[in-house]
Amino acid sequence: MTVAEPLSPVLDADRQDVVLSVRDLHVSARSEDGLVPLVQGLSFDLNRGEVLAIAGESGSGKSITSLACMGLLPQPAVRITQGSIRLGEIELTSLPESQMRALRGARIAMIFQEPMTALNPVMSIGRQLIEAIRAHDPVSVSDARARALEAVRAVRLSQPEKRLEQFPHELSGGMRQRVMIAMAIALRPDVLIADEPTTALDVTVQREVLDLLRDLQRDLSTSVILITHDMGVVAEMADRVIVMRKGSTVESAATVELFENPREDYTRELLAAVPRIGGAEARAPLKKHEPLVRIEDVSVRFPVRQGVLGRIKAQVHAVEHVSLEIIRGETLSLVGESGCGKSTIAKALVGLVPYSGNIEVNGNSLVRLDAAGRKALRRDLQIVFQDPMAALDARMTVGELIREPLAIHNIGTIEEQRARVYQLLERVDLSPAYYNRYPHQFSGGQRQRICIARALALKPQLIVCDESVAALDVSIQARILDLLRDLQKEVGVTYLFISHDMAVVENISDRVAVMYLGQIVEMGTREQVFGDPRHSYTKRLLAAVPVPDPRSPRAGLPRLTGEVPSPVWPLGSRPARQALVDVGAGHLVAPESG
């Protein structure tokens, strides 16, 4: 292996403070045609106590870089072909696995993007933490447990003693991510790599995790490599930024300099694609139309069974007495944290969960429809899910997937159906030549376009977008949102847009309904909810949104603490019903106690 000269004046600023040094790193994957480069000529230094962000779209090589630093590349399929990675004075690229294993956790640790796949589902949290500590430090079980408890307290998990006894599936996504952080900091490593640590989290939980990482980095003087595609997170967290594209460095600079004076076109495109609160274009007010959808006093509750006989002891009040209307041609957004009930409303609307109350589409009550009526309804009502790979049958070609709804409803001949599929592929900016390809041959953004094309096949009146852009890179997300807006202008489709990303919601919505613990606490036009939020929970959501401006400090904003209360209530009891009050011009707000 060879070591390259420094590529940037940022490198070698002060060698005494450098804890991790990467030089001319090349990583390649084996294929039938030979080696395919994944990372090409990457060089950087990580200084003590610094937060270095590596940003870029999916496939840019940022996560491969983190795995290379951790010695976790899936060899021999993927391997380092050239370059140097030094942790202090230790060259990691030539280190035997037995010695590398001793360094992981103790000197260099990693927080993975998906904690549920990184945690052992059959081991308690405490046992996993204790095992990790004792693997690097031969202390007694009681001492290891005390240190595990200290780590859990450090990440501000409530009831830390109880958490040690629980299993991963008993914790929320945000709590599991905190456990991952606790495991990573338990041995106080010199370097902490956080690989998309907040991508799948609600905006409020994301804010708490970012605050936590910032505190730990300050208190422990840990150096952090932050892997992300979220430029708002970069602006709030990083001291320096490396922008990557297709395995190579596009630009490297101090964070303020990069945001205020990006030199490369790709960096400017990445920053321009970031949705910002207050940056939405003005939208013409909607003409008065009859509602396409009426949801009246709808509740959805799930039983909680306990004991050998499985008797119902409690109920999950997922949705509680929700009423709203969706006007033809508008985009109504439902926002809130995970578990607030927004996706459950969507499932009730499309007939996937039982409910009490009344739902009407086009003036027809869903509970009164016969089999033929329900089949006809499915032509008017389609849904686009968050994970396109899970929504698409991997055994069917793209053409078959998009044509299937037409075949089910006997619309046109096979030739006409095929012609319609070609039109739909072109409409979502995909080539008709992709007809015979399979879902795994496409990127995440392309697969989501396929799902949208499939949803459009029957020319529906309403499309439910359930976190349909949550896991996408900001540039791909922007293209999908543009596509949804264009389709609305051209064919008049109505959207129920479900999201926890407030910046995205502001950019696409006509009206917004904010949900908390199964109930709507605020509802109004986009301008009312974002420009004049009245409910404290709405203000909390807005305060949590990362600001893509490194000169916009968080010091003046309220610190988010505490966990969302449980929606589980003992049998026979229920949450207090929230009656919305009109505070002016149709801006509805639930009154708050105190």
Q: What is the pLDDT of residues 100-118, one digit of tens each?
A: 988 988 899 988 877 777 8
Q: Are the beta carbons of 394 and 438 closer than 8 angstroms?
A: yes
Q: What is the pLDDT of residue 338?
A: 75
Confidence category of residue 275, pLDDT binned at 50, 70, 90:
confident
By residue range, what is the domain housing residue 195?
A: 16-272
Which residues have C-beta within 8 Å of that of residue 520, sequence separation ≥ 6? 322, 323, 324, 513, 514, 578, 580, 588, 590
Q: Is the pLDDT of residue 561 over 60?
A: no
- Is 197 or 194 the better-scoring residue by pLDDT? 194
From first CA to last CA, the distance across the chain in angstroms is 67
What confidence category does residue 526 fall into, taking pLDDT thresholds of 50, 70 and 90?
very high
- Last residue in a domain, options 239, 255, 272: 272
Query: DSSP assignment of 466-523, as one string?
Result: ESTTTTS-HHHHHHHHHHHHHHHHHH--EEEEEES-HHHHHHH-SEEEEEETTEEEEE
Question: Which pLDDT tens digit goes with each residue over 40-62?
Answer: 999 999 999 899 999 988 778 88
On whether residue 265 sits in a domain, the answer given is yes
How far does Cα 187 stand from its chain's mean position?
Answer: 28
> What are the angstrom distances between the C-alpha of 350 and each of 17, 311, 335, 360, 500?
58, 29, 18, 11, 20
> Which residue, 75, 118, 66, is CA-closest to 96?
75
| Whether residue 9 has pLDDT greater than 60 | no
What pLDDT, on a 0 to 100 scale, did the predictor assign at position 7?
34
Residue 332 falls inside a structural domain? no
- Does some domain include residue 55? yes
Bridge partners of 194, per DSSP, are 111, 226
Tell me the per-residue pLDDT of 355-401, one tens digit each, with 9 for 90 and over.
999 999 988 898 888 888 888 888 889 998 877 888 899 899 999 99
Query: Does position 532 have pLDDT exceeding 90, yes or no?
Result: yes
What is the rounded average pLDDT for all residues in the chain? Answer: 85
List % helix, strand, coil for the chain (3-state, nearest 5).
35, 25, 35
Q: Worst-scoring range by mean pLDDT, 254-258, 348-352, 511-515?
A: 348-352
Q: How many CA atoms lie within 13 A of 101 on its CB side?
A: 5
Element (H or E) spanning 110, and its range? strand 108-111
Measured CA angle at 62 (ends 60, 68), to 5 deg: 125
How many residues in the chain? 594
Which tens digit of pLDDT belongs to each residue from 223-271? 999 998 888 888 888 999 999 998 999 999 999 999 999 999 999 988 8
Same domain, 392 and 265: no
Q: Sorting pLDDT into bands at 50, 70 and 90, what band is 122? A: very high
Same domain, 36 and 162: yes
The Cβ of residue 198 has, within 10 Å, a number of other Cβ atoms equal to 25
Residue whose pair of structure tokens reads 């991508």 in the numeric block: 199
Q: How far apart are CA 291 and CA 283, in angstroms?
A: 19
Whole-number pLDDT of residue 430: 87
Question: Who's near 299: CB < 8 A, 6+ residues apart?
Answer: 317, 319, 320, 321, 322, 355, 356, 357
539 located within any domain: no
CA 243 to the chain's CA centroid? 20
Q: Is 162 helix (H, G, I), strand (E, B) or coil?
A: helix
In a shared domain, residues 248 and 130:
yes
Structure confidence at residue 282 (pLDDT): 66
The H-or-E segment that residue 294 falls in is strand 291-306
Say if 350 falls within a structural domain. no
Q: Are residues 199 and 76 in the same domain?
A: yes
User: What DSSP state is assigned to residue 139?
Assistant: -
467 Cβ contact partners less than 8 Å away, ≥ 6 residues apart: 343, 385, 386, 498, 499, 500
Q: What is the pLDDT of residue 379?
A: 85
More confident residue, 218 or 335: 335
* Residue 141 lies inside a defined structural domain of this protein: yes
268-275 average pLDDT score = 84
Q: For residues 174 and 560, give the distance between their C-alpha atoms in angstroms, rounded to a whole number.
A: 13
pLDDT attached to residue 129: 92
Q: Which of the listed residues 272, 298, 329 is the one where a domain comes to its end?
A: 272
Confidence of residue 553 (pLDDT cuts 50, 70, 90): low
Least confident of 282-286, 432-436, 574-578: 282-286
Q: Residue 16 pLDDT more than 50?
A: yes
Predicted confidence at residue 69, as pLDDT, reads 94
In a domain, 119, yes or no: yes
Sign of the alpha-carbon torsion through 382, 385, 390, 392? positive
CA-nearest of 1, 38, 6 to 23 is: 6
Per the listing, tokens 């540039």 go with: 475
Residue 4 has pLDDT above 50, yes or no: no
Q: Answer whether 225's CB lies under 8 Å from 237's CB.
A: no
**CATH classification of the domain holding 230:** 3.40.50.300
- The more confidently predicted of residues 136 and 59 is 136
Please report, rounded to a whole number, the percentage of residues in the chain having pLDDT higher than 70: 92
What's the Cα-to-Cα distance from 467 to each of 157, 376, 390, 450, rounded to whole Å?
27, 25, 13, 16
Q: Are residues 121 and 232 in the same domain?
A: yes
E-assigned strands of 161-209? 191-195
CB 231 within 8 A of CB 200: no
Closest CA to 347 of 323, 376, 318, 371: 318
Residue 563: pLDDT above 60? no
Amino acid sitting at position 165? E
Cα separation, 566 vs 352, in Å, equals: 23
Q: What is the pLDDT of residue 15?
A: 54
Q: Which of 460, 495, 514 is the last residue of a domain?
A: 460
Question: What is the tens place of the pLDDT at every residue in 467-512?
Answer: 888 767 777 778 888 888 888 888 889 999 998 788 889 989 999 9
Question: Measured between alpha carbons, how far is 456 from 421 in angstroms, rounded to an integer?
Answer: 10
Q: Are the CB atoms for 211 and 35 separated by under 8 Å?
A: no
Alpha-carbon distance of 4 to 42, in angstroms, equals 9
Q: Which amino acid is at 243?
A: V
- Using an 8 Å Cβ cutoff, are 233 and 197 in contact? no
Domain count, the chain: 2
Confidence of residue 280 (pLDDT cuts 50, 70, 90): low
Q: What is the mean pLDDT of residues 547-562?
A: 61
Domain presence at residue 504? no
When pLDDT is cut at 50, 70 and 90, the band that residue 145 belongs to is very high
- Position 8 scores a pLDDT of 39
Four-point Cα dihedral 98, 99, 103, 109, nearest 10 = -50
- Please report the beta strands in 156-195, taking only residues with DSSP state E, as ranges in sequence order: 191-195
Token pair 């949450």 in the structure block, residue: 575
445/427 Cα distance (integer angstroms): 15
Indicate whether 202 and 76 sit together in one domain: yes
Residue 312, pLDDT > 90, answer: no
